[in-house]
Amino acid sequence: MLTSLPGRTPLVFDSPHSGTAYPEDFRPCCELATLRRAEDTHVEKIYAFAPAMGVAWIEAHFPRSYLDANRDVTELDTTLLDGDWPGPLATDPRVLSKVRPGKGLVWKFTDDGLPIYDRRPAVAEVQARIDRCWTPYHAAVADAVAAAHTHHGYSIHLNCHSMPAIAGSHATEFPGLAHSDFVVGDRDGSTASPVLSQQVCEHLRAAGFSVDYNHPYKGVELVRRHGDPARHRHSIQLEINRKLYMDERTLALDAAGMARLQAALKSLTERLLATDPRSA
């Protein structure tokens, strides 16, 4: 349910939300076209250049609406399930503010507030999803980051996402927000050196893009797990506005937009490869 390609540099890129393999046990009540709007569509194509540059690459094949690999296994809306959850559950109010609207580990609603199920998934069904999808994905990212850090003394992890041009009603704390071209998130400097994050922002702005920093997306579980700048582990979430490279209605790629975007991201990758954040 994933692709994991080893790297030879300090860089690790991962795409947890671009999966398009919808498992048979999903059985949603809404149409596939509706679910596909939850995908980080084509993100794996955007970064297709990365492995040849020596960047470790991890990509989920399962869709975000089936299981969100960028959430912790405690982030469950138990009202969705057909029984009692046997494991620990999140209690942090900031986490619960995401879980309660139905956007936790297993989604209850789409970004536009449409119900995904007309049934209550079994507890065993969700546990199987975790075992088959979440656990291997997180292990692959952890192994890649550890290998990069061991071999180079530091690691730079880029958690790769896309976002709609306009935020949906259930997609964010800021429904209806018109997004910038990019959002760079490091959980307010806790998962990466702010100096490094600002270099990313400056590079993209110099390429002609609008960039926001830690708004409206600060980064979630994957950067939280793998970012520890005091130990030279830097983890940044990078959101790309889909209007830059695709038609959001048909999901068709815009070749010219894609070429411009890839050129900017490839040059950003070259800059990161030439950057040792330990000297910052």
Distances (CA, A) of 211 to 122, 177, 204: 42, 14, 7
Compute CA 184 distance to the chain's CA centroid, rounded to the nearest angstrom: 12
**Is 183 exposed, middle or buried (CB count within 10 Å of its CB: 0-12, 13-18, 19+)?**
buried
- Number of independent structural domains in the chain: 1
pLDDT tens, residue by residue, 250-278: 999 999 999 999 999 999 999 999 999 99
Q: What is the spatial distance between Cα 21 and Cα 106, in angstroms, rounded to a whole number?
A: 16
Summarised one tens digit per residue, pLDDT across range 162-197 is: 999 999 887 778 889 999 999 999 999 999 999 999
Residue 62: pLDDT over 70: yes
The whole-number pLDDT of residue 101 equals 77
Residue 98 has pLDDT above 90, yes or no: no
> For tokens 């850090």, what's the residue?
149
Q: What is the spatial distance between Cα 156 and Cα 226, in angstroms, rounded to a whole number?
A: 9
Q: Does the pLDDT at position 3 exceed 90?
A: yes
71-92 pLDDT, tens per residue? 999 999 999 999 999 999 999 8
Render pLDDT for 100-128 as a digit per residue (tens, 0 to 9): 778 899 999 998 889 999 999 999 999 99
Task: Note the pLDDT of residue 216.
Answer: 95
CATH number for position 122:
3.40.630.40
Domain limits for position 256: 2-279
- What pLDDT shows up at residue 94? 81
